[in-house]
């Protein structure tokens, strides 16, 4: 795995996206165990859930759309006032990656590695940004059981 990936552990993690950006999420699996990704747009109180299993198979959104097509999350552009001048606000995406073993109904938190900007200081509100997330469910330690791409585009 590339040194550009940072291990964030198990459980949910957050990504901050410039408020006015269009966000696209796509995912596929490389695993026997069932995989699930839940991307929650905290500001809009909306969740985008994908599930799937198999080698190099697109995950499927709850509405049946394939995860290889992606879904667009469009947020409202707004500013937060400060003493000197308004600054661009950020939307928070809460991402939870889980897996379920064959015959189980319980979901377990996956180990997660992420590549992409982690601090708002590294996120230019006037630029496009990309995050790649890889997970491990513990079956084979290949760190690619779920591969999630989150792209934020500033063009409307």
For residue 127, is it within any domain? yes
Residue ranges with strand state E in the chain: 6-10, 13-18, 22-41, 46-58, 60-61, 71-74, 79-80, 87-88, 90-100, 108-109, 111-115, 129-136, 146-153
Strands 46-58 and 22-41: antiparallel
For residue 60, is it within any domain? yes
For residue 63, is it within any domain? yes
Model pTM score: 0.84
We report the CATH number of the domain holding residue 71 as 2.60.120.400
Closest CA to 56 of 138, 146, 135: 146
User: Taking the CA atoms of the chain, what radius of gyration do you get in angstroms?
Assistant: 16
Separation between Cα atoms, residue 92 and residue 69, nearest integer Å: 22
For residue 87, is it within any domain? yes
- CB-based contacts of 101, cutoff 8 Å, min separation 6: 33, 108
For residue 145, is it within any domain? yes
For residue 106, is it within any domain? yes
- The Cα-based distances of 87 to 16, 38, 79, 80, 141 in angstroms read 15, 29, 6, 6, 42
* Count of structural domains within the chain: 1
Q: What is the pLDDT along the chain (156 residues), one digit of tens a residue?
A: 446 899 999 989 999 988 778 888 889 999 999 999 999 887 767 788 999 999 999 898 887 776 655 555 554 433 333 333 334 478 888 999 999 999 999 999 999 999 999 887 888 888 899 999 999 998 898 999 999 999 888 865
For residue 67, is it within any domain? yes
For residue 1, is it within any domain? no
User: Which tokens belong to 93?
Assistant: 């995406």
Domain containing residue 57: 6-153
């Amino acid at each position: 795995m590339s040194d550009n990936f940072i291990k964030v552990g198990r459980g949910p993690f957050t990504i901050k996206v410039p408020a006015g950006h269009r966000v696209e999420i796509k995912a596929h699996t490389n695993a026997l165990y069932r995989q699930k990704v839940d991307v929650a747009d905290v500001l809009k109180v909306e969740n985008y859930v994908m599930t799937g299993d198999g080698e190099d198979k697109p995950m499927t959104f709850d509405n049946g759309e394939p995860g290889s097509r992606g879904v667009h999350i469009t947020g409202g552009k707004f500013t937060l006032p400060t003493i000197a001048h308004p600054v661009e606000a950020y939307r928070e995406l809460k991402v939870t990656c889980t897996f379920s073993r064959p015959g189980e109904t319980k979901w377990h938190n996956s180990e997660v590695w992420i590549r992409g900007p982690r601090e708002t200081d590294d996120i230019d509100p006037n630029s496009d940004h990309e995050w790649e997330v890889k997970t491990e469910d513990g079956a084979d330690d290949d760190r690619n059981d779920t591969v999630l791409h989150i792209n934020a585009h500033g063009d409307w």
